[in-house]
Structure 1
Amino acid sequence: MRLFLRAVFAVLVLGISVPSLAKGVSETDLREHIAVLASDEFEGRKPGTEGEAKTVKYIAEQWAKAGLKPAAGDGSWFEPVPLIQRGRGEATYSFNAKGRKLRIVSDEIVLIGKEAEYAKKDLPVVFTGIGVKSDGSVGADVSGKLALVLFEADNAPAKMKSPRARREALIAAGAEGVIFVGDSQGNWPILRRQLLSRPIGLESREKRAKLEGAISTEFAVALVTAAGRDWDKLRAHAKGADYTGEALGIDADFNVMTDIYRFNSSNVIGKLSGKKKGSGAVLYMGHWDHLGICAPDDATDKICNGAVDNASGIAVLTEVAQRLAKKRHDRDIYFIATTAEESGLLGAYAYADKPVFPLEDIVISLNVDTIAIAGRNSKVAIIGRGTTSLDATVEAVARKTGRAIESSTDANDFIQRQDGWALAQKGVPALMVGGSFADLDLMQKFLGSDYHGPNDELTDQTELGGAAEDADLHIALGNYFADTRKYKVTKAGE
């Protein structure tokens, strides 16, 4: 039954009551789960590894113990998510200008094809600056050509700052190849490492050029200089807001072999069945994956354990499930632990494209991610504020649990970086609620230090006070939104 997701505000604020939590979630409760999920034994929980097998098994066992029932499409806990990895294989290349082969002394280039083999001769090379103009459109003529793109894009419009967004815009404009130029003294090592780490993709949604890759600034300078051009002048031109790019008078020949590996990862899905069929569902979600073994072989610590990101979120979901399972609610309550969030919300997108229950039945989706940041008594922020009709309701529930509200929209800076975004684009009322993103200075401190590195480990200093309070808040939200008397929705047309 399709539900029109419009709150009946007669029951808002003054009509909200939240039952007291007889036993709140403790820091110890959360620590026990994080200690397992972020242990070296789980090897950083990268999809397609032994770490994944241990992770999804642990989650299913804990959710079964909590009282959930398996709810994947085949009746198990595990919903398959077909993924693909591409790794660098053998590659030969040459660049030519005015009939002569250019001599490039740098070898700082990484090339990866869309298919297992890519061969092309006389591919024209176009320098595109950051790739897009101030309105987000592609100014350069890249159709059937190789686009050289600056990796850093401080002057790009907000929605196009990410390399992925600019790459996809160039592909949509017809680019046959897209190669990013990384700063040799800054982001080139990061860019190179990303490409060599066999990045994971969701093949059903991939937007890839036939050839993709990266070169260092040193390589770019050598290339354009050998062709008689001035790199500094090209960079200066690229700073213009509406730079339209320019052909370099260079053609390229490529023969690129790519190692391709296809495999199934898993979203873990559990359910608490409600009493009233057709009344909708509450959905909790959080990603289980992290980066796996992420440092060089000679590093002292090679594992990105992901204690905060996002073993903490899975720990909260597990404790919330355990407490919500103590009674039967009106609405169904689903829990989904998604795969491959770190690779671009892939598990969430896979679920949004092929849900096990109708997306239109979801009265609220609550994503839990990177939750062990803030201490106790932190304000509650809403990622997704202003995008649904639920802000006032969520705030009223939060206040009933003793929490203050962060009323700004600053946390929306992260709206596209979390799994709820995949559902929001399908019209689902999807929010992230809690304290971690209420203090963005505190969040940025984490993002600039332990985030996505071997130091994101569980220690005695890991802050779990705010996470415990956020867990209690999510229990209160579940109790409220799963109750058809407290939160009412109307059918379309009523």
Structure 2
Amino acid sequence: MRAIPTLALTLGLLTAANPVWARDAAPPAISVETLKDVTKTLSSDAFEGRKPTTAGETKATDYIVERFKAAGLKPGNNGGWFQDVPLVELTAKNVTPLNFTGGKAPVSLAYRSDVVIATYRVTPRIAIKDSPVVFVGYGITAPERGWDDYAGVDVKGKTVLILVNDPDWQTPTNQGLFEGRAMTYYGRWPYKFEEAARHGAAAAIIVHETAPAAYGWGVVQSSWTGPQLELDEAGDHADQSQAIGWMQLAKARELFASAGQDFDALNAAAKVKGFKAVPLGVTASVSFDNAIKRQASKNVIGILAGTTAPNDYVYYTAHWDHLGHCDAVNGDDICNGALDNASGVAGLVALAEANAKAGPARRSLVFLSVTCEECGLLGSRYYAQHPIYPIAQTVGGVNMDGLNTVGRAKDFVVTGAGKSELEDRMKALVEAQGRVVKPEPNPERGSYFRSDHFSFAKLGVPMFYGKSGEDLRVGGEAAGHAATLDYIEHRYHKPQDEYNPAWDWSGAVEDVQLYYGLGRALADGSDWPNWYKAAEFRAIRDKSRATAGK
């Protein structure tokens, strides 16, 4: 284990302004038993899949508080452990088929099997009748890139059909107008629904394709049916489209053929700059009732107060929620979320234990386990918008969403690389472990925009997100890639994401040691890491820091 003293030396160099940390011998050990116990407990059937606002939430959040207390943390919200997150639950009922008429033949999409439909609007009834249908390609308005899929077309009151991901998602490299293979925020489904609403669309339906979406229809079906949660805000989201959803690719082809169009040809045309939206000459009708329930969920917050700079804050974050009861597979209808993200919470607890054992750092360390990541990053979004500790005084931090349970890896992948100075610091730590930093193997999945660090990034806070790559020390890249595909195809957002006593936690330990090293270096340091100059969040950070202490 000769990498350990090298790692300690690297940490010392990273925090040269603080000689106390530079003299530390080595990072504290990460408890494998904690990783196992917390993951196993939170993902057991007794927690019913940890769906927010259910009895499973109460069990989960109480358990996290219990572990935070035992680790040595103090309550992080003015003497309390929780931050209430106001939510509204909408459950679609009496959903009619999505019917398209006016073409060569009517096309009807059955709820769940062919289409999923929902709404952000807090209203008891949604009814869309004979809404003209327009294909808007990728549904992107990006003036800085000279791209506007809505140019020259009025979609107010109409139904727009949208492709998933970015126009250049099939590019083999990360070079291109929309960063090639690497998904931008323009490729994410939340953006597409937001943009459709900005243009006044009555309904926005994304055509599902497994490759550019990075997940199969089963994930869409399990995530978009049943009770749906959104932040409970003034205005009841009346500025959003009446209906949003996804449709199966085969049904899109059938619809376009009925409208006298070739779906594949228009799909290809939509990838070219200058594409013009195409009215299909058909209309859409759908209706459903909404059961409305206003309630609150909870973020869990613990703190290890700093010594000489307690009003500067470094974060470790991980979401505790999952999907609860979901579509049954072989009689099992609990989506336990063991890897996603009971394991991340386990990492959070293990880091709390390690930092408490090491003693307080110069700055305060905040341990935040957020709700509703699976609902659209709602818990972290609410916290970032209503922070307990000022955003301007937040140094940065590390987010964890799924630990490595398949063994040690030779490589480490930075998600959304090329954005933050934290990457340089982590690179040194990774190399000290005898590992290498590699590009994301699947940047087209848009992982940077799919976890809770993004809520902080949008407000200017550099939050690091990365994990083991696929080049395993045992089995190499073939074994690592096979493990990734197996998880995505057979366990991700399904009841099969269950705790496995045969998991190999050695890779998780190495990664959590890296998270410890980066967070501790920030907490014992005195500098303020920033985004790279070209990053989209740099100006927000600079403006935020300019208000610090005012």
Which band: TM-score by shorter chain? Answer: 0.7 to 0.9
Residue 68 of structure 1 contacts residue 271 of structure 1 at CA under 8 Å; is this kept in 2? yes
Provide the secondary structure at the position in 2 that maps to 1:324.
helix
Query: Within the alignment, does 1:307 sit opposite 2:346 as a pair?
Result: no
CA distance in 2, matches of 1:182, 1:328: 49
**Aligned pair partner of 1:56 in 61, 66, 69:** 61
Query: Within the alignment, does 1:169 sit opposite 2:195 as a pair?
Result: yes
Report the counterpart of residue 318 of structure 1 in structure 2: 349
Residue correspondence of structure 1 range 64-463 to structure 2 within 5 A? 64-72=69-77, 75-91=79-95, 97=102, 103-104=106-107, 107=110, 108=114, 110-113=116-119, 114=121, 115-132=123-140, 136-139=147-150, 141-152=153-164, 155=167, 157=178, 158-159=183-184, 160-182=186-208, 191-204=220-233, 208-216=240-248, 229-231=259-261, 233-240=262-269, 241=272, 242-252=274-284, 255-277=287-309, 280-296=312-328, 299-326=330-357, 327-373=359-405, 375-376=407-408, 378-383=410-415, 385-398=417-430, 402-410=432-440, 413=443, 414-435=447-468, 441-442=480-481, 444-445=484-485, 446-463=487-504
Report the counterpart of residue 43 of structure 1 in structure 2: 48
Report the counterpart of residue 469 of structure 1 in structure 2: 510
Residue-by-residue CA offset, 1:8-56 (whole Å, 9 max, x unaligned): 9893899983623485123223111111111111112111221111110
CA distance in 2, matches of 1:291, 1:322: 28
CA distance in 1, matches of 2:49, 2:72: 27
Deviates more, 1:45-54 or 1:87-96: 87-96
CA distance in 1, matches of 2:441, 2:308: 35
CA distance in 1, matches of 2:100, 2:514: 59
* Residue 211 (structure 1) shift: 2.2
**Aligned pair partner of 2:33 in 28, 31, 40:** 28
Residue-by-residue CA offset, 1:84-114 (whole Å, 9 max, x unaligned): 332222356766649xx97556545554342
Change (3 A) 1:120 1:367: closer
Report the AA paired with residue 484 of structure 2: Q
TM-score, normalised by the number of residues in structure 2: 0.75
CA distance in 1, matches of 2:67, 2:373: 21
CA distance in 1, matches of 2:441, 2:490: 19
Provide the secondary structure at the position in 2 that maps to 1:43.
helix
Residue 86 of structure 1 contacts residue 261 of structure 1 at CA under 8 Å; is this kept in 2? yes
* Residue 367 (structure 1) shift: 0.9
Provide the secondary structure at the position in 2 that maps to 1:179.
strand
Residue-by-residue CA offset, 1:97-153 (whole Å, 9 max, x unaligned): 49xx97556545554342222345553222334434895532362431323425555
Residue 381 of structure 1 contacts residue 438 of structure 1 at CA under 8 Å; is this kept in 2? no
Residue 128 of structure 1 contacts residue 238 of structure 1 at CA under 8 Å; is this kept in 2? no
Residue 126 of structure 1 contacts residue 142 of structure 1 at CA under 8 Å; is this kept in 2? no
CA distance in 2, matches of 1:489, 1:103: 60
Change (3 A) 1:407 1:262: same
Deviates more, 1:462-471 or 1:197-206: 197-206
The number of residue pairs the alignment matches comes to 475
Unaligned runs of 5+ in 1: 1-7
Residue-by-residue CA offset, 1:64-97 (whole Å, 9 max, x unaligned): 111111112x531111112233222235676664
CA distance in 2, matches of 1:393, 1:109: 45
Report the AA paired with residue 118 of structure 2: I
CA distance in 2, matches of 1:49, 1:136: 43
Residue 181 of structure 1 contacts residue 216 of structure 1 at CA under 8 Å; is this kept in 2? yes
Change (3 A) 1:482 1:117: same
Q: CA RMSD in A?
A: 3.7
Deviates more, 1:408-417 or 1:337-346: 408-417
* Residue 398 (structure 1) shift: 4.9
Residue-by-residue CA offset, 1:135-183 (whole Å, 9 max, x unaligned): 5532362431323425555745542333332222222222121133457
Change (3 A) 1:22 1:337: closer
Report the AA paired with residue 26 of structure 1: S
Unaligned runs of 5+ in 2: 1-12, 169-177, 530-544
Report the counterpart of residue 3 of structure 1 in structure 2: none
Report the counterpart of residue 174 of structure 2 in structure 1: none
TM-score, normalised by the number of residues in structure 1: 0.83
Provide the secondary structure at the position in 1 that maps to 2:524.
coil
Deviates more, 1:125-134 or 1:345-354: 125-134
